[in-house]
Amino acid sequence: MTELKNLEAELDRFRLRIIAAVLFILLGFGLLVARMVHLQVVRYEDLANRAEANRIAVVPIVPNRGRIVDRNGVVLATNYTAYTLEITPSRVADLEATINKLAEFIDIQPRDRRRFKRQLDESKSFESLPIRNRLKDEEVARFIARRFQFPGVEIKARLFRNYPLGETGSHLIGYIGRINQAEKKAMEDWEDEAQANYRGTEYIGKLGLEQSYELDLHGTTGFEQMETSAGGRAVRRLDNLPATPGNTLVLSVDIKLQALVEEMFGARRGALVAIDPRNGEILAFVSKPTFDPNKFVDGIDVDNWRELNESIDKPLLNRALRGTYPPGSTYKPFMAMAALNAGKRSPSTIINDPGFFMFGGHRYGSPENERGGAMDMRRSIVESSNVYYYTLANEMGVDMIHDQLSPFGFGRRTNIDLEGEVTGVLPSQEWKRRTYKRPEQRKWYAGETISLGIGQGYNNFTMLQLANAMAILAAGGQRFEPRLVKEIEDVVTHQRRAVSSKALEPLALKPEQVNVIMQAMHGVTQQGTSTRIFVGAPYASGGKTGTAQAVGIRQNEKYSAARMAEHLRDHSLYVAFAPLDKPRIALAVIVENAGWGAAAAAPIARRVFDYVLLGHYPSEEDIALTQKGQSVAPVGTPRPAASVPLPSSSGPAATPEAPTGAAASAAAASAAASAGSMASRPAASAPAPSAARPRAMTLDVGPALRASGVRP
């Protein structure tokens, strides 16, 4: 009986264990079902989105940057495609060792290493940075054959900016460069849409029109959805939104005229601005010396930067926009116009010029070659009488001079479509009170007014301001905001939008008074200081020479250029317009430290007028003499401007704009080996919106591999 009881107890315990096990299993399955319901039902949308995000990589398609062309369609800025070798520092264990190993079969120069290090300091470790740009096909093939040895290193197809004419027009065109940390921080304040448009973009306009018209040139970023494998490799393209290329800027500048002026300056420093007074369009915008903007595209190396930045000639200074100079005697026609407008002088008022002017015990002199005598307004301009304008400045006073000449644009920005314009100085008593801190410096002294009449003293203006003022006078008071860009062409529709110069309220100048000044300036070219320059000109023009001090000299000291260092000698200036009856061009030109205005500046102006009005390009002999400051009227047989070729570039050779972008970017995102890429069709060839669809550019490495002796 006892044994039966024990068996029964064992069975009861067994049944309990079975029940417990079944309950445990049911509980486990219940938890699994509950979890499955939670994942498949409750969190389905969230997890599906995550899975889709893991499966699909959204890759930005950087648009082709818009082109820049001159008024005749000559290309000044375009793009070309090249392959770059790039490193993502966060994915490389030993950066230096990796670069050294790459250098065994790819040409990596010390300047490439310095540029990479500088960009590394300015960037985040997860960003891809180029160690070598513009790889040869053989170099691409060698790397692809060894790619498995270099995690974090890849080949990318990139669009590079190219300036086909090199240094020609560099100050007005500008250049692009990699976006630095300061610019990235500034972008954080942009609207979300604007920030999104720069995803994937590594370059931005840094100077000139590239900077001022950045939004027009950049275009609209597209995207591509790429399906990726578990390893992150791109499998196939699911969807895409094509990038829209940047628009084309059509300038009012004639780049051949620009190149001619730059050539005539030679090795000398200076600036020239030529404006159409009828509409404010700028025909030439020259600053010398120039620089090659192609050097900045990849990131300029230290040696080239030091050479440009530390040069005594300051080639990076845009002298037309930011260089300020005393205008010298080129100021006298404007002083005469101010006197007529204010009723201080009539054209027939006679002022005796004994060769000096005494004020407060100080002797204000005149040039030794000045004849002097009885001066009316016309003769004072033709013969450039200092005494006439000493007395005029004294009669008008500094504040009246300021109020009369400020409407001509002196001492204020012209609002040209370039950033960085300076105001210059048109002095007044209020200006001096604002500028200086010590009480004795803030007071305006009557003796300071005298030298203002001849364009010296505190007067300091840019060539842009002088040219703009000359254009206003030549147009009889009509004013415009100067413009370099004439039209913006939509790259897809090819429709052009005019960027007309803003017409300002005209100055209330009396035509008969304007005619007095213009006829007097015409007399300068017939009997005055620029007579020899305009001998034989088949058109009538007006002008005024000027010589401005670069440094002051003592009262009793005579100026001697031979005894002074070249950088301390007087500046040569000329302002002019042509033709006399219906002016089509007005200009201002300065040749730094070149002395007398008729010797260096006026000959350049004559040849600009011949080009614009006659279509003449100077002979090589004439250009050589002009470069030395030894020319007067043109010599030799002028050439038809259309027959003279444009200068060649010192930068990289331009290749056709090839599509680039998404596939290569997708490969970067997925660490794929493919060097193919996607992008919008080049700006010049996109006839319609549908034509802007990206198409792949693939790299056939077979021939290159065979040529390099590498087996894949």
Q: 640: helix, coil or strand? A: strand
* Cα distance between residue 263 and residue 646, in whole Å: 11
As a whole number of Å, the CA-based R_g of the chain is 35
Beta carbons of 75 and 683 less than 8 angstroms apart: no
Nearest to 226 by CA among 35, 58, 22: 58
Is 329 in the active site? Answer: yes
Q: How many residues does the chain have?
A: 712
Residue type, 166: G
Residue spans of beta strands (DSSP E) within 562-703: 571-578, 585-591, 616-617, 639-640
Q: Which residue type occupies 195?
A: Q
Q: Residue 239 burial by CB count (10 A; 0-12/13-18/19+): exposed, middle or buried? A: exposed
For CA atoms 468, 472, 475, 481, the dihedral sign is positive
Question: Angle between the 255-265 and 620-627 helix axes, to the nearest 10 degrees?
Answer: 50
- Do residues 331 and 388 lie in contact, with contact meaning Cβ atoms separated by under 8 Å? no
DSSP state of 534: G
Query: Which stretches of 131-178 are DSSP H helices?
Result: 137-146, 170-173
Residues with Cβ within 8 Å of 448's Cβ and at least 6 positions away in sequence, in order, are 398, 427, 457, 458
Give the containing element (helix H, strand E) for 608.
helix 597-609
Nearest to 567, CA basis, from 314, 363, 203, 392:
314
User: Residue 93: what are its φ and ψ, rounded to 5°?
Assistant: -70, -50
Q: Which residues contact 182 (CB under 8 A, 6 or more apart)?
A: none
The conformation of residue 416, written as its DSSP 8-state character, comes to: -
What is the rounded end-to-end Cα distance, in angstroms, of the chain?
A: 87
What does the block give as tokens for 502? Answer: 């803003």
User: Angle at Cα 348 formed by Cα 346 and Cα 349, nearest 5°?
Assistant: 70
* Phi, psi angle pair for 406, to nearest 5°: -60, -40
Catalytic residue among 123, 128, 170, 329: 329
Q: What SS3 state is found at 143?
A: helix
Supply the residues annotated as catalytic.
329
